């Protein structure tokens, strides 16, 4: 038990004072866990506080409209998680009479909650004997025990989960899970870990074998798909034309601008793009390139060009899912981070 006791002792001294650590309310812990799957603690904390302020209970979350949830989520990416959260809140109201479950098995029945989230919520809210294995835990275990199995391969994931379960500190599983996660975040960091002052350095296999920088092992990711968006910015009478994105592609239910996607990147106003724009905006229309931005998603690399359109003629009925909004209304609409960046810098 030396490994576990050392982690618990370290945690008692070094743990951060985080807002979700002052409660065992499963709803609040659920909020924090889903948000922190998207980003680091320092970036995720303001989002957590905004969500908790807007929706202090799961009932408030369930009653919210999707647009307000997506707006609060803006900038985190993976918007499907925000929609899953909304569905989860409604499910808790409908199936559990508004009482957020704490059982690992019941949590797995909720939309968007997998084994990791179920283990974390049940462990932190009810002391369930479930090992919580996130990226920090993978790193600590891989280095301390010298495990070479890839952490993103099924065999490796199973191996790490079995080991984590064996190491679980049964007198207080929730405290131990917090300790090893925090240790990975602050001490056994991915870059520049504090090995010289690490309380586990005497028995750390990676340190002994000079392989700290090589562990944990990850299989290479598949190459990202490149996509090229050409956005058209139409402004008239202090209103701007926006498009509501539907299901079937990225950024579902968010708002961007009328767009033509091309197979290749354009250096500027290529003839075929001009012809396509004329067909949409009329023969007297003209385009000027405002800027070009790149945006990286998990599996896609987006290159977006933004064209200002002048002298356009628009029959709104011919524009699928488009509408005119004021610039104030535009600011209130949920947008992809790429679009929000353009608006903030250029509008």
Q: Per-residue b/e over 159-186, b at no fewer than 16 CB within 10 Å?
A: bbbebbeebbbeeebbbbbbbbbbbbbb
- Measured over the CA atoms of residue 33, residue 116, residue 131 and residue 129, the dihedral's sign is positive
Q: Per-residue b/e over 65-95, b at no fewer than 16 CB within 10 Å?
A: eeeebbbbbbebbebebbbbbbebbbbbbee
309 close to 233: Cβ distance less than 8 angstroms: yes
Residues 6+ apart with CB under 8 A from 15: 21, 178, 179, 182
To the query of whether residue 329 is one of the catalytic residues in this protein, the response is no
24 close to 126: Cβ distance less than 8 angstroms: yes
Q: Which of 33, 66, 106, 182 is catalytic?
A: 33
Find tokens 């359109």 and name the residue.
309
User: Over the Cα atoms of the chain, what is R_g?
Assistant: 24
The catalytic residue positions are: 33
């Amino acid at each position: 038990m030396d490994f576990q006791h050392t982690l618990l002792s370290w945690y008692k001294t070094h743990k951060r004072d985080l807002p979700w650590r002052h409660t065992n309310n499963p709803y609040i812990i659920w909020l924090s866990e889903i948000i922190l799957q998207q980003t680091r603690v320092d970036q995720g904390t303001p989002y957590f506080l905004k969500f908790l302020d807007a929706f202090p209970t799961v009932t408030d979350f369930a009653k919210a409209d999707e647009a307000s949830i997506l707006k609060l989520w803006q900038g985190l990416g993976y918007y499907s998680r925000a929609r899953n959260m909304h569905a989860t809140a409604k499910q808790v109201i409908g199936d559990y009479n508004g009482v957020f479950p704490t059982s690992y098995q019941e949590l797995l029945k909720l939309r968007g909650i997998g084994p990791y989230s179920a283990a974390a919520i049940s462990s932190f809210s009810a002391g369930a004997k479930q090992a919580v294995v996130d990226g920090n835990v993978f790193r600590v275990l891989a280095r301390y025990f010298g495990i070479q199995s890839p952490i993103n391969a099924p065999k490796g994931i199973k191996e790490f989960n079995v080991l984590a379960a064996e190491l679980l500190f049964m007198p207080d599983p929730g405290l131990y899970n917090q300790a090893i996660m925090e240790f990975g975040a602050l001490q056994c960091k991915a870059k520049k870990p504090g090995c010289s002052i690490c309380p586990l350095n005497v028995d750390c296999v990676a340190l002994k074998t000079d392989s700290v920088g090589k562990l944990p092992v990850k299989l290479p990711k598949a190459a990202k798909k490149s996509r090229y968006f050409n956005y058209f910015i139409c402004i008239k009478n202090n209103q701007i034309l926006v498009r509501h994105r539907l299901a079937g592609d990225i950024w579902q239910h968010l708002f961007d601008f009328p767009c033509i996607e091309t197979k290749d990147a354009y250096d500027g106003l290529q003839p075929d793009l001009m012809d396509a724009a004329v067909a949409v905006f009329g023969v007297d229309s003209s385009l000027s390139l405002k800027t070009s931005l790149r945006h990286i998603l998990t599996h896609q690399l987006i290159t977006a060009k933004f064209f200002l359109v002048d002298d356009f003629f628009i029959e709104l009925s011919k524009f699928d899912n488009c509408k005119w909004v004021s610039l104030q209304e535009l600011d209130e609409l949920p947008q992809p981070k790429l679009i929000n960046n353009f608006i903030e810098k250029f509008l």
